[in-house]
DNA sequence: ACCTGAACACCGTTCAAGT
DNA sequence: ACCTGAACACCGTTCAAGT
């Protein structure tokens, strides 16, 4: 008799934390993180906003749950693979996850990074690097460096309005047209390139990623040569 | 006769956009970005919240002004200096500015990056790189890569609760104590290091920065060797 | 055990009214 | 030209009351 019990989700039993969090993530995917309000989420679940507090301690808890959901989509490096390849896969899969859930990277900013899962995650990353021969401190710096790059790149995505659904050729042409003759020559030069060949986001991401990984590799080689 | 006209700021004339924005930045510095509400800001300026709309079109405009204020504190690379040193100074001064204004990096996330000042800024950075011998596309990728790292690193700061006012030795000891014997061995190894020698944030930042800059330099050298 | 309805304190913003 | 006071639509959250 109750609509919620048999609605489209195919989930026939009552509300619980997981269903609430999942619905919030879907809402954010479809209409942006700002539209995730307790009232709107309640509406989506056929329930009053106040009822959500039976399954989630508050909005903060809800957002943490959403962040966990997205984090779980990022590949854990497997111990037995080459460290460079492992870091590469991790970075690429993170970028893909953030592409699917544009709200995720911003959410991980504010939320503390200390759940049991993220500790395990950190251990695996650090373990991969230490196994490869990096000292614990250098491994931690490398971890921080790679992650900084991953999250920072995601930030730029929305920033320069160079998301996938934007015609970068068009943006470049408009930028070019807006620049007064002779002013900003370097920016004009770049815009001229992109007016012909569109901006390849994945290529840009991997270019920067490889700058970091190549330097790390070189440092590892130099270090083992010294010890020999 | 009016208190506001002669108050501590030493600014005797009436309210204007600059004073409003500056007061908002100070409020954010002292009590966090969340405490910047129109009502609270009005209280600080001795005025009703509604009055602020005479000087600022809305809260969005206010936040943009704050972001501009912080951006102006980041060094523009001077054309005549070595590209690597220029990028280095830019990155270091950005990190310092974000340290003074913890709200700044998060604010630049959401705000579009297309004001006349930031276009000029981009031109200078790109110009420095192109002058050094990078192609326009590679220069833009390098620009994006370095900026991603800068902003991403700032993000991590708050994240791992490794800010300046936190005793990282203590955090490491607590982490170590919380890890069950034998579990998370790599994380434990890192924590053990930091329990003895505190985490050096500036060193970590420059380590990652140099990974990027060194790779760029190497690429430049290899490229010019090919052309010779 | 879970949901509702109403309330509370707080937002950003608008607008007629004052000076 | 700038400020006030009151209002509006919207938040997150609490809590007694229902079932």
| pLDDT confidence bin for A176, thresholds 50/70/90 | confident
CB-count exposure of residue A226 (10 Å: 0-12, 13-18, 19+): exposed
Give the integer Cα–Cα distance in Å for A94 and B140.
22
Distance B135 CA to D13 C1' (A): 56
With cut-offs at 50, 70 and 90, classify the pLDDT of residue A11.
very low
- Nearest residue on chain B to A145, alpha-carbon basis: B208
**How far is it, in rounded angstroms, from Cα A66 to Cα A72?**
10
Report phi then psi at B12, rounded to 5: -90, -15
Task: Write down the residue that tokens 């994380």 correspond to.
Answer: B187
* Cα-Cα-Cα-Cα dihedral sign, residues B185, A75, B140, B156: negative
Angstrom distance, A51 CA to D17 C1'? 14
Give chain A's mean pLDDT: 88
pLDDT at position A5 over 80: no
DSSP single-letter state for residue A26: H
Measured between beta carbons, which residues in chain B are less than 8 angstroms from residue A106?
Answer: 109
Helix axes A201-227, A83-100, angle to 10 degrees: 160
Of A192, A12, A217, give the one whose Cα is nearest residue A134: A217
How many CB atoms neighbour CB B211 within 10 A?
Answer: 24
Whether pLDDT at A161 is above 90 = no
Distance CA A142, CA B7 (A): 50
Q: Distance between CA A47 and CA A44 in Å, rounded?
A: 8
Domain boundaries, chain A: 12-56, 76-162+203-228, 164-198
- Evaluate if pTM is beyond 0.85: yes
Q: Is the CB of A48 under 7 A from strand C?
A: yes
DSSP run (H or E) holding B138: helix B136-159
CB contact under 8 A, A185 and B144: no
A39-62 confidence digits (pLDDT tens): 999 999 999 999 999 999 999 999
Q: Please tell me the CATH code under which domain B12-56 is placed.
A: 1.10.10.60
Question: Which residues are CB-contacts of B42 (< 8 A; sequence separation ≥ 6)?
Answer: B48, B49, B50, B51, B52
**What does the DSSP 8-state code read for residue B12?**
-
Pick the CATH number of A76-162+203-228 from 2.40.50.140, 2.40.30.60, 1.10.357.10, 1.10.3720.10: 1.10.357.10
Neighbours of B190 (CB within 10 A): 27
Nearest to A149 among B139, B148, B160 (CB): B148
Residues 27-46 of B with CB under 7 A from strand C: 36-40
Q: Please report the DSSP string for B77-115 in residue order.
A: PPTTS-HHHHHHHHHHHHHHHHHH-TTHHHHHHHS-S-S
SS3 state of residue A48: coil
Q: Do domains A12-56 and A76-162+203-228 have the same CATH topology?
A: no
A39 CB below 7 A from strand D atoms? yes
Q: A153 — contact with chain B (CB < 8 Å)?
A: yes
Q: Is the pLDDT of residue A9 over 50?
A: no
Low-confidence winner among A179-193, A195-209, B171-185 (lowest mean pLDDT): B171-185
| B55 contact to strand D (CB, 7 A limit) | yes
Q: Is the pLDDT of residue A194 over 70?
A: yes
- Name every chain A residue with its beta carbon within 8 A of the beta carbon of B98: none
CA distances from B168 to B89, B161, B171, B177, B206 (A): 26, 9, 5, 14, 18
Q: What pLDDT sits at residue A116?
A: 74
Closest CA of chain A from B115, distance in Å = 12
> What's the first-to-final CA gap in chain B, in angstroms?
76
- pLDDT band, very low/low/confident/very high, at A6 (cuts 50, 70, 90): very low
Beta carbons of A159 and B214 less than 8 Å apart:
no
Q: What angle do CA B196, B198, B203 make, to 5 degrees?
A: 130
* pLDDT tens, chain B, 228 aa long: 333 433 334 344 589 999 999 999 999 999 999 999 999 999 999 999 999 999 999 999 999 999 999 999 998 888 778 999 999 999 999 999 999 999 999 888 767 666 778 888 899 999 999 999 999 999 999 999 999 999 999 988 866 655 556 677 888 888 888 888 889 999 999 999 999 999 999 999 999 999 999 999 999 999 877 776
Q: For residue A81, give the DSSP letter.
A: S
Q: A164: which 2 tokens?
A: 């996938």
Q: What is the pLDDT of residues A110-153, one digit of tens each?
A: 666 667 788 888 999 999 999 999 999 999 999 999 999 999 99
Q: Is B120 helix (H, G, I), strand (E, B) or coil?
A: helix
Taking CA–CA distances from A148, the nearest residue in chain B reads B152
pLDDT at A60: 95
C-beta pairs of B157-165 under 8 Å, 24+ apart in sequence: B157/B98, B157/B201, B158/A109, B158/A110, B158/B102, B159/A108, B159/A109, B159/A112, B159/A113, B160/A113, B161/A112, B161/A114, B162/B199, B162/B201, B164/B99, B164/B201
Q: Would you give the distance in Å from CA B205 to the centre of its chain?
A: 12
Half-sphere exposure of residue B178, counting CA atoms within 13 Å on the CB side? 13
């Amino acid at each position: 008799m109750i609509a919620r019990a048999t609605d489209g989700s195919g989930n026939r039993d009552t509300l619980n934390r997981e269903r609430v969090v999942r619905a919030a993530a879907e809402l954010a995917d479809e209409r942006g993180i700002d539209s995730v309000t307790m009232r709107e989420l309640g509406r989506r679940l056929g329930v009053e906003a106040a009822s959500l507090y039976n399954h989630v301690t508050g909005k903060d808890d809800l957002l943490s749950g959403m962040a966990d959901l997205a984090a779980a989509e990022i590949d854990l490096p497997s111990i037995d693979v080459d460290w460079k390849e492992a870091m590469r896969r991790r970075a690429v899969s993170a970028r893909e996850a953030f592409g699917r859930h544009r709200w995720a990277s911003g959410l991980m900013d504010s939320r503390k990074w200390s759940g049991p899962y993220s500790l395990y995650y950190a251990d695996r990353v650090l373990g991969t690097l230490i196994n490869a021969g990096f000292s614990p401190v250098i491994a931690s710096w490398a971890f921080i460096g790679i992650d900084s790059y991953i999250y920072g790149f995601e930030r730029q995505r929305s920033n320069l309005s160079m998301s996938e659904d934007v015609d970068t050729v068009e943006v470049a042409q408009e930028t070019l047209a807006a620049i007064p003759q002779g002013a900003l020559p370097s920016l004009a030069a770049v815009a001229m390139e992109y007016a012909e060949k569109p901006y390849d986001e994945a290529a840009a991401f991997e270019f920067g990623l490889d700058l970091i990984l190549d330097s790390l590799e070189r440092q590892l080689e130099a270090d083992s040569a010294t010890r020999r």
